[in-house]
Amino acid sequence: MTDRIVLRRPDDWHAHLRDGDMLATVAPFTARQFARAIVMPNLVPPVTTAEAAHAYAARIRKAAGPGFEPLMTCYLTDASDPDAIERGYKEGAWVAAKLYPAHATTNSAHGVTDVGKIAPVLERMQRIGMKFLVHGEVTDKHVDIFDREAAFIDRTLARLVRDFPGLKIVFEHITTKEAADFVAAAPANVAATITPHHLMIDRNAIFEGGIRPHLYCLPIAKRSHHRTALRKAAVSGSPKFFLGTDTAPHAVHAKEAACGCAGIFNAPVALEAYARVFDEENALEKLEGFASLFGPAFYGLPPNEARIALVRANATAPERVPGPAGDIVTYLGGQALGWRIEAA
């Protein structure tokens, strides 16, 4: 049995770091585990301009401390302008742009109502090599919530992949066998991130003994066989699948409510959770590729030089983290983690 593994320091290719006092609370948790993070732009108001992205990056650096690099993203709207997107990319304001279908999830009201409207933007991104990050769910309320990701592939993503063959696309936080199969079969310019929670829970977990608001996120966890397919993809060694936690903190009152927010705060325990999954799959030797190599390769960045060690240990996840508007409940809070991170 392997009790200690050394990895290049990993990065988080999908994180919600929020802003203001919440940013100050949560950013150190991400920075403790990861050298870089792709930062989601769904603030209020969303990050749509290069100026806003530069200013947000500076606030993140201050909150996270030295040694952490935020990789910024631009929130796409129906009005996004190809010239402004390119300018922001060239001046280093952002490395990618994010598609939120309008009303798909938290703070997505300004999102894109019809991908046809951003075709000129996608054309430009394809030309300059800027990454396109996709929240892949249809927003049609007539489609069952558990089918919205698969429907998005059929109605939208398959066509985008066909129409923009040179566009580097990340299908974010995939939750279904359909998505894993689609990405595996797609050309090399299409990749996916997978969260720790979607590797661990299925939809039963959300209703175990009562409703569990802290396991509610979007896309929602699916049936068990989808989790099995995601695990298989994560440990496959394919460079198309890499780490993206989708850590998405909300104060406890916003989660435990008549209409609770979607999002799971996993930043304090994400890497340990991935290690547990890879260990259960007898694939610890595949963790470094997934966590530390395939993401940088897809983004055209060097992997980190620093190393960390994951050590088998009796560590327990913190139940809650005190935040500015009340506690934030931690994913796996109070549970045995099985692993601890050490400097290597």
Q: Is 115 exposed, middle or buried (0-12, 13-18, 19+ CB in 10 A)?
A: buried
Q: How far is the CB of 106 from ligand DOR (least distance, A)?
A: 4
Closest CA to 242 of 158, 183, 154: 183
- Which is nearer to ligand DOR, 105 or 330 (by Cβ)? 105
- Which is nearer to ligand DOR, 196 or 263 (by Cβ)? 263
- Using CB distances below 5 to 8 A depending on partner kind, what does residue 292 bind out of ligand DOR, Zn ion, none? none
Q: How far is the CB of 149 from ligand DOR (least distance, A)?
A: 12
Our answer to whether residue 114 is catalytic in this structure is: no
3-state secondary structure at position 338: coil
Q: How far is the CB of 250 from ligand DOR (least distance, A)?
A: 6
The site for ligand DOR (CB under 6 A) is made up of 16, 42, 105-106, 135, 217-218, 248, 261-263
Q: How far is the CB of 46 from Zn ion (least distance, A)?
A: 13
DSSP-derived letter for residue 325 is: T
The site for Zn ion (CB under 5 A) is made up of 246
- Using CB distances below 5 to 8 A depending on partner kind, what does residue 131 bind out of ligand DOR, Zn ion, none? none
Q: How far apart are CA 273 and CA 15, in angstroms?
A: 16
Alpha carbon of residue 236 to chain centroid: 19
- Which is nearer to ligand DOR, 160 or 217 (by Cβ)? 217
Which residue minimizes CB distance to Zn ion?
246
Strands 4-8 and 307-312: antiparallel
Which neighbouring-strand residues pair with 264? 247
Dihedral over Cα of 148, 149, 151, 152: its sign: positive
Catalytic annotation, pick one of 19, 246, 279, 327:
246
> Is the CB of residue 227 less than 8 Å from the CB of residue 200?
yes
- Which is nearer to Zn ion, 12 or 246 (by Cβ)? 246
Enzyme catalytic residues: 246
